[in-house]
């Protein structure tokens, strides 16, 4: 009986009041997970060419010199995030609408898009100011 009382949340008597279960935290609609921020950070180094399918010339050069590493991600949701992050790192707030649509269709929210682009924009501005100070 003591096990049953403990499992029910009482403290000594199985007739005691149950321990309240904390409510799940409300997630911020604009928040990205640590994994998603890691994808954004890694996308900073990706070239725009990583967004295109390799052409015939690229495939031919790959057979001669060895294939280049493929930066694309296997998870479609994270790949949509990587694509929008690469475009934002290169162009700032000006990205093609089809990429924004792909990002939103992958399950992200407009608030997450704003947070992402604002964060990248702030970092780009800080980099520009840093270069100017030198």
Of the candidate ranges 3-17, 23-37, 52-66, the one whose mean pLDDT is the lowest? 3-17
Rounded distance, CA 130 to CA 134, Å?
7
16-47: pLDDT as tens digits: 444 555 544 556 667 899 999 999 999 998 88
Q: Is the pLDDT reported for residue 99 higher than 80?
A: yes
Rounded distance, CA 129 to CA 126, Å?
5
The residues spanned by each domain of the chain are 38-52+71-134
Average pLDDT over the chain, rounded to an integer: 78
72-98: pLDDT as tens digits: 777 899 999 999 999 999 998 899 999
**What's the confidence (pLDDT) of residue 89?**
93
| Residues ≥6 apart with Cβ < 8 Å to 58 | 68
Q: CA-CA distances (angstroms) from residue 3 to 6, 16, 19, 22, 128? A: 5, 14, 15, 22, 63
């Amino acid at each position: 009986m003591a096990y049953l009382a403990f499992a029910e949340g009482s403290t000594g008597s199985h007739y005691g009041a149950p321990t309240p279960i904390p409510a799940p935290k409300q997630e911020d609609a604009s928040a990205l997970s640590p994994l998603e921020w890691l994808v954004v950070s890694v996308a900073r180094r990706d070239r725009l060419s990583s967004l295109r399918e390799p052409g015939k010339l690229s495939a031919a050069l790959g057979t001669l010199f060895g294939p280049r590493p493929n930066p694309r991600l296997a998870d479609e949701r994270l790949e949509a995030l990587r694509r929008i992050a690469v475009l934002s790192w290169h162009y700032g707030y000006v990205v093609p609408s089809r990429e924004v649509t792909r990002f939103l269709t992958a399950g992200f929210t407009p608030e997450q898009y704003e947070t992402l682009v604002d964060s990248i924009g702030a970092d780009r501005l800080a980099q520009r100011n840093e270069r100017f100070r030198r």
